[in-house]
Amino acid sequence: MARKETNPYGYREFYRDLKAGRLFACYVLEGEEEFVKEQALQALTAAVAQGPMQAMNVTRLNDPGADALIAANETLPFMADRRLVVVRESGMLSGKAGDYDEEDSAARLRKYFMQLPSTSILVFHVRGSADKRKRLYKALADAAKAGQCALVTFDQLPESDLIKWVERACREKEVTCPAEMASRIIFRTGSAVSVLKGETDKLCDYLGPGGTVDEEAVNAVITSNLEYKVFDLASSVLQGDGQTAFRMLDELLYDGEDRLYLLALLGGQCRHLLKASLLASDGARSYDIASALGIPEFAVRQILALSRRFKAPEMARMTDLCVRTEFQVKSGAIPDEGSLEKVMLEILSMGGSHGKAQGAAGA
């Protein structure tokens, strides 16, 4: 089967062709989204190796050289139309090759890829991203141009797709999850689907069939990632709630988080505050601001509410304070110890929250 374009070819195109019964003689599954990549391999396995002889028609190899790979791929299927050959951990696509000559194997496979048998489907499953400088990858790219191979890249899913994934995962367990709640879950956990699955499973077990995801359930069950914890910390600082902010900071430092890294994240939140405020003053809608900042719309609404406590020069000063302090620590001008706390106290002193800052300092 030939295809005019080889890029971009992601999970949508992969499932579109699989659903239509269009199969390639060879696949490269690579990219950072491991969970979706593994699901795609399972779907391809189910589509190719069917019936009672399924186990007989799937061969799994770990970093094979050309001889072992070609021998497996040339083996005829047993009472089936095709067999599947899955290659993992190939040193010819990432890392270092095993006990074979990588250059010789890649050269031989380049020729082989142009005349692949119709009785086998060869799949290279790459952990992470493939090294596109490798000779074998270049050979596979040429095979893709000839319609022999599909180079499938599994990038992190965009938020719109992640929301649909969470909604569907909840629906399968008879739990209703509104889109905004799905967005909150993603914001708290990050975009790794494997993490989202674990958190969504916990949430559905907590609510039970017939339940509906709400903010209370999300707060009770979902484990927050570091960036969300810093978002919460920054929100407390910007609200003038020094007591809560310093309690959160103590917990983060106790968990071993780096003070300088936390300072950089706080600086990022201050930049978001300033940018959101400026965009809103120019008439931008919350949806547009969310797109510009790369954060959910509900988070934009929260940031805009916080921005009303400050004037634009104050927000610019906060951002500059974080950047300047981070530079001073890195250059050795000031010690790391107490640097973040000093920044937090100064921000707390703005927006009419000086009294709360003093209370936090004495806590």
Give tens-digit pLDDT for 336-362: 999 999 999 999 988 644 334 333 333
Dihedral of alpha carbons 346, 268, 252, 248, sign: positive
What region, left, alpha or beta, does residue 174 occupy, with left being phi > 0 and alpha being psi -120 to 50 degrees?
left
pLDDT given at position 362:
38
Cα(311)–Cα(138) distance, rounded to whole angstroms? 55
pTM for this entry: 0.74
Cα(289)–Cα(272) distance, rounded to whole angstroms? 10
Asked if 176 and 213 count as a contact pair (C-beta separation under 8 A), the reply is yes
Strand order in the sheet with 149-153: 58-62, 83-88, 120-125, 26-30, 149-153
DSSP-assigned letters across all residues of 46-80: HHHS-STTGGGGEEEEES--HHHHHHHHHSPPSSS
Q: State the alpha helices, DSSP H only, in 120-258.
A: 135-145, 159-172, 179-189, 193-207, 215-221, 226-239, 242-254
Cα(319)–Cα(76) distance, rounded to whole angstroms? 65
pLDDT given at position 6:
39
Asked if 288 and 294 count as a contact pair (C-beta separation under 8 A), the reply is no
Output the CA–CA distances (angstroms, integers) from residue 100 to 71, 150, 278, in the order listed: 15, 26, 59
Q: What is the pLDDT of residues 71-101, one digit of tens each?
A: 999 999 988 889 999 999 999 999 888 888 9
Query: Which residues contact residue 167 at a Cβ distance below 8 angstroms, ignoring those fewer than 6 apart?
Result: 177, 179, 182
pLDDT given at position 363:
37
User: Could you give the percent of the chain with pLDDT greater than 70?
Assistant: 94
CATH 3.40.50.300 domain residues, the chain:
11-153
Q: What is the CATH number of domain 226-361?
A: 1.20.272.10
CATH 1.20.272.10 domain residues, the chain:
226-361
CATH 1.10.8.60 domain residues, the chain:
159-221
Regions in the chain scoring below 50 on pLDDT = 1-7, 352-363
Asked if 91 and 98 count as a contact pair (C-beta separation under 8 A), the reply is yes
Q: What is the CATH number of domain 159-221?
A: 1.10.8.60
Nearest C-alpha neighbor of 160 from the set 297, 42, 46: 297
pLDDT given at position 8:
65
Q: What is the CATH number of domain 11-153?
A: 3.40.50.300
Query: Which residues contact residue 93 at a Cβ distance below 8 angstroms, ignoring those fewer than 6 apart?
Result: 28, 30, 124, 126, 130, 131, 134, 136, 137
